[in-house]
């Protein structure tokens, strides 16, 4: 049988080099490898191999930097298992930031459907030099924030909570990586409830989560144009503005709703309530840590969580959701339509119609995924709408917060969350890139007709 040449393989596997397929395949392979490692006897505390669904769920949650768990992380997994989870979190976080940044660069350069990772003569080509700069930049930013966070947490745990230095270092590094990558995995059965009143722990973790949720492109612009905002791109301006607004709105809404709730903030002193309320609002940015019992929140607060978790964080960041830029673009489109303006203008720039369609597509398909997941959980479990919707949004937004029903879900329900985590982590990125890279020229236009709207 004659060997297939490069052209033959391309015909046999059409589109195999499409960036979206590369991203999905890479993450699927990482999840499979993590699942196999977590099924080893050495990965569990009692030495018995974890069942396949538990290992798959945990590996997916780690690679997709979600933080949902069906077993108690510190009790069920051994030190080897925890290190595997930590490695999967790091791979998932770095992978998302790197691949999303490269896809963003590719889209900005309008290179077509195939990612060419070779130096090319055209000035608009994505060469190896740029790829290396993006990859090295993502790694440098990630390790820098993780290192600073780990140092602060280690010192606080050792000096303020009397941990031994080895334990303080291990816990500090684990939670620093988990925080910056917006993973939400914790080495405590109560997440970070025991540190709810400790500003050194709470604020450090919260700031690491915010830093990871901004995204590498924003940090790159902040560094390059650190002397002024005039040269910031529209993406950076929208990301910073909307994340800041949502943090303020979320904090105020959560504190107001839970101020007198004795099962959450009401049991704390006024200053501690403000700290815990801010921490809770930050965690809805897809981090997954909690310093209060999520299952005891008021129904209105759960709805606020649902909204914030669905929106998520910045593009090309470790955060999930539909992304703040998508949410903001839709808001600007609505505002322009209400005003009767023919085009959408934002901060001195006009939004292309293609970008508006992409934002609408990502948002509506994401709504469809959450609705489908919620219906599936309602059918498969005895839990009510508040709990199942919260769980579905948390999984899709790769948040990791839970009202406490995750461990009680049947196998089918856990697989639903696995699918939501995978789709939620990769769906918006791959869908947006696929839409942006699919630039086709229409050779003719049909007669125009306007149906009745509303």
Q: Which of 7-21, 57-71, 272-286 comes out lowest in average pLDDT?
A: 7-21
> 44: which strand partners?
77
Cα 370 from chain centroid? 15
- Domain spans of the chain, in order of start: 14-437
Whole-number percent of the chain with pLDDT over 70: 84
pLDDT band at 180 (very low <50, low <70, confident <90, very high): very high
pLDDT band at 392 (very low <50, low <70, confident <90, very high): very high
- How confident is the model over 283-287, as a mean pLDDT? 87
pLDDT band at 167 (very low <50, low <70, confident <90, very high): very high
Residue 405 is predicted with a pLDDT of: 93
Residue 442 is predicted with a pLDDT of: 67
pLDDT score of 11 more than 80: no
47 three-state secondary structure: coil
pLDDT score of 340 more than 50: yes
Q: Let me know: does 198 contact 160? Beta carbons within 8 Å.
A: yes
Residue 34 is predicted with a pLDDT of: 95
Residue 120 is predicted with a pLDDT of: 35
Q: Which of 41-45, 216-220, 369-373 comes out lowest in average pLDDT?
A: 216-220
Q: Name the more confident of 448 and 247.
A: 247
Q: Provide the strand spans (E) within 234-389.
A: 345-346, 349-350
Burial of 336 (0-12, 13-18, 19+ CB in 10 A): middle
Q: Name the more confident of 166 and 12.
A: 166
pLDDT score of 401 more than 60: yes
pLDDT score of 347 more than 90: no
Q: Let me know: does 406 contact 69? Beta carbons within 8 Å.
A: yes
pLDDT score of 172 more than 60: yes
CA–CA dist 106, 83 (Å, integer): 34
CA–CA dist 438, 353 (Å, integer): 14
Ramachandran category for residue 98: left, alpha or beta (phi over 0 → left; psi -120 to 50 → alpha): alpha
> Residue for token digits 């101020």?
259
Q: Which of 115-124, 256-265, 361-370 comes out lowest in average pLDDT?
A: 115-124
- pTM as predicted: 0.86
Residue 13 is predicted with a pLDDT of: 43
Q: Name the more confident of 336 and 2.
A: 336
Q: Let me know: does 74 contact 400? Beta carbons within 8 Å.
A: no
CA–CA dist 185, 294 (Å, integer): 15
Torsion over CA: 293, 295, 301, 307 (sign) = positive
- What is the DSSP-derived secondary structure letter of residue 290? -
> Residue for token digits 């406490």?
404
Mean pLDDT of the chain: 85
pLDDT score of 191 more than 80: yes
Q: Which of 67-76, 413-422, 440-449 comes out lowest in average pLDDT?
A: 440-449
Residue 110 is predicted with a pLDDT of: 45
User: Each residue of 96-142: pLDDT tens digit?
Assistant: 777 666 666 555 554 333 433 333 332 233 444 556 677 777 888 88
**Percent helix / strand / coil, the chain, rounded to 5:** 65, 0, 35
Residue 147 is predicted with a pLDDT of: 96
Task: Name 240's Cβ contacts closer than 8 Å, sequence gap at least 6.
Answer: 214, 218
User: Each residue of 21-74: pLDDT tens digit?
Assistant: 677 788 888 999 999 999 999 999 999 999 999 999 999 999 999 999 999 999
pLDDT score of 311 more than 70: yes
> 77: which strand partners?
44
Residue 115 is predicted with a pLDDT of: 38
Q: Let me know: does 145 contact 209? Beta carbons within 8 Å.
A: no
Cα 251 from chain centroid? 20
pLDDT score of 175 more than 50: yes
């Amino acid at each position: 049988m004659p060997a297939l040449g490069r052209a033959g393989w391309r015909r046999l596997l059409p589109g195999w080099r499409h960036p979206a397929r590369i991203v999905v395949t890479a993450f699927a392979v990482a999840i499979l490898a993590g699942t196999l490692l977590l099924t080893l006897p050495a990965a569990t505390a009692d030495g018995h191999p974890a069942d396949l669904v538990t290992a798959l769920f945990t590996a997916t949650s780690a690679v997709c930097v979600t933080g949902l768990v069906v077993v108690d992380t510190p009790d069920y997994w051994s030190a080897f298992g925890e290190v595997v989870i930590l490695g999967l979190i790091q791979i998932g976080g770095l992978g998302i930031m790197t691949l999303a940044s490269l896809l963003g660069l590719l889209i900005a350069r309008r290179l077509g459907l195939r990612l060419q990772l070779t130096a090319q003569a055209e000035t608009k080509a994505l060469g190896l030099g740029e790829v290396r700069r993006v990859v090295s930049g993502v790694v440098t930013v990630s390790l820098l924030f993780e290192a600073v966070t780990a140092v602060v947490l280690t010192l606080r745990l050792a000096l303020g909570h009397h941990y031994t230095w080895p334990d303080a270092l291990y816990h500090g590094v684990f939670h620093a990586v988990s925080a910056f990558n917006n993973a939400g995995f914790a080495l405590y059965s109560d997440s970070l409830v025991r540190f709810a009143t400790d500003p050194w722990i709470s604020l450090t973790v919260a700031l690491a989560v915010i830093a990871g949720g901004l995204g590498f492109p924003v940090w790159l612009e902040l560094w390059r144009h650190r002397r002024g905002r005039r040269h910031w791109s529209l993406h950076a301006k929208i990301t910073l503005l909307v994340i800041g607004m949502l943090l303020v709105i979320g904090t105020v809404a959560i504190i107001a709703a839970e101020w007198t709730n004795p099962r959450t903030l009401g049991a704390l002193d006024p200053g501690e309530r403000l700290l815990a309320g801010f921490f809770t609002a930050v965690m809805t940015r897809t981090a997954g840590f909690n310093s209060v019992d999520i299952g005891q929140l008021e129904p209105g607060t759960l709805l606020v969580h649902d909204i914030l978790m669905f929106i998520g964080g910045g593009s090309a960041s470790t955060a999930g959701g539909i992304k703040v830029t998508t949410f903001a673009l839709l808001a600007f489109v609505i505002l322009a339509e209400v005003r009767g303006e023919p085009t959408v203008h934002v901060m001195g720039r006009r939004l292309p119609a293609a970008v508006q369609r992409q934002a609408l597509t990502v948002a509506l398909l994401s709504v469809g995924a959450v609705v489908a997941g919620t219906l599936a959980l309602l059918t498969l479990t005895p839990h009510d709408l508040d709990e199942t919707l919260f769980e579905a949004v948390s999984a899709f937004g790769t948040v990791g917060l839970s009202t406490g029903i995750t461990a009680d879900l049947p196998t089918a329900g856990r697989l639903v969350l696995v699918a939501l985590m995978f789709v939620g982590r990769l769906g918006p990125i791959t869908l947006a890139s696929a839409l942006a890279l699919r630039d086709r020229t229409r050779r003719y236009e049909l007669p125009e007709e306007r149906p009745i709207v509303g």
